[in-house]
Amino acid sequence: MGQIEARLAHLRQERERQEFQLRAQQQQLQRLEWERYHALTQQQEKEAILAQLQAQLQAAAQELPDPLPPLPPHLTLDELQRQKRKIEEQLRSLEPVNMLAIAEYEQIQARLGDLSAKLETLHQERTELLLRIENFSTLRRQRFWMPSMPSTAISRPSLPSFPRERAI
């Protein structure tokens, strides 16, 4: 019996050791699955960023002049980047002026549109008034002109005559 109990104790220890190893392996498997998921997520994000950058690159390539202007051989990448930063700073210093000019231009364009519309309305109203005047004149001539009377027979009131002064 002592031998059986010793054997049983040994088997229990072996079982506990194997269960411990199993739990450790399950934890490691779980950690590896999480790392795999995290790596896949990062890969998908980076692929999306890559696709976006490729689209931006294509758009930028279309804006470049064709053929590309030659670069002087003495310029380095650092020198070009320095020049680019300098030009960007100059543009930023001009921005408030440019933005105000754009806003003023838009206001003037809006006012020009309003005034052009008003001018067109005035032209149309003038044309309508001239037509009405012409119609009124035609109607007046038709009503007050007597076809049986010669046009010289219509008497006009005479204007008083004033004696002319002689130049000395």
Pair 113, 89 in one domain: yes
**Domain end call among 12, 41, 65:** 65
| Structural domain contains residue 167 | no
| Structural domain contains residue 51 | yes
Q: How many separate domains does the chain show?
A: 2
Pair 91, 139 in one domain: yes
Pair 61, 82 in one domain: no
Pair 57, 102 in one domain: no
- Better-predicted residue by pLDDT, 71 or 58: 58
pLDDT of amino acid 29: 96
pLDDT tens readout for residues 71-93: 778 888 898 899 999 999 988 88
| Structural domain contains residue 71 | no
User: Six-digit token pair at 83?
Assistant: 């020049």
Pair 19, 51 in one domain: yes
Q: Which domain holds residue 84?
A: 76-143
User: Six-digit token pair at 143?
Assistant: 């009503």
d(C-alpha 57, C-alpha 49), whole Å: 12
Whether pLDDT at 146 is above 80: no
Task: Determine the average pLDDT of the residues in 54-67.
Answer: 87
Least confident of 16-25, 95-104, 130-139: 95-104
d(C-alpha 157, C-alpha 139), whole Å: 23
Q: Could you give the percent of the chain with pLDDT greater than 90?
A: 60
- Better-predicted residue by pLDDT, 62 or 121: 121
Return the amino acid letter for 167.
Answer: A
- DSSP per position, 56-85: HHHHHHHHS-SSPPPPPTT--HHHHHHHHH
Task: Determine the average pLDDT of the residues in 44-49.
Answer: 96
Where does 21-163 show beta strands of DSSP type E? none
Pair 55, 2 in one domain: yes
From residue 151, give the alpha-carbon distance in Å to each of 136, 138, 140. 20, 16, 15
**Does the model's pTM come out above 0.85?**
no
What is the distance of C-alpha 71 from the center of its chain?
33
| Structural domain contains residue 87 | yes
